[in-house]
Structure 1
Amino acid sequence: MEHLRSAYRAASVRFDYQRDDVLVVDNMTAAHGREPFTGPRRIAVAMAEPHTP
């Protein structure tokens, strides 16, 4: 398990979010999570069918 945790940490990308930022994540190609935070949480979700060129 520690090997997996280390691999996830090594491949992690962190963002310095600013007010009104938007992040788009492809759930088919990315593992995602979040760090703990304080303050109100606001979630907006949009879903679509996969696009194959």
Structure 2
Amino acid sequence: MVVEINADDCTGCQVCVDTCPNGVLSIENDVSVVENPDECDDCGSCIEACPMEAIAEAS
């Protein structure tokens, strides 16, 4: 599962970056971005951790 970030809802709080065990996400221009999609292991921890519900499974 690769995730999508809704940039309109993301506040750049970095909770997802700190939660991801594989370093998939980073913050650029105050918004979370998927930096290393091949490292995602489908754990969903970033989705659960996001206080703004700005992360979803990519369709």
The bucket for the TM-score relative to the shorter chain is under 0.3
Q: Which has the higher strand share?
A: 2
Higher relative contact order, structure no. (Cα contacts within 8 Å, ≥ 6 residues apart)? 2
The TM-score with structure 2 as length reference comes to 0.24
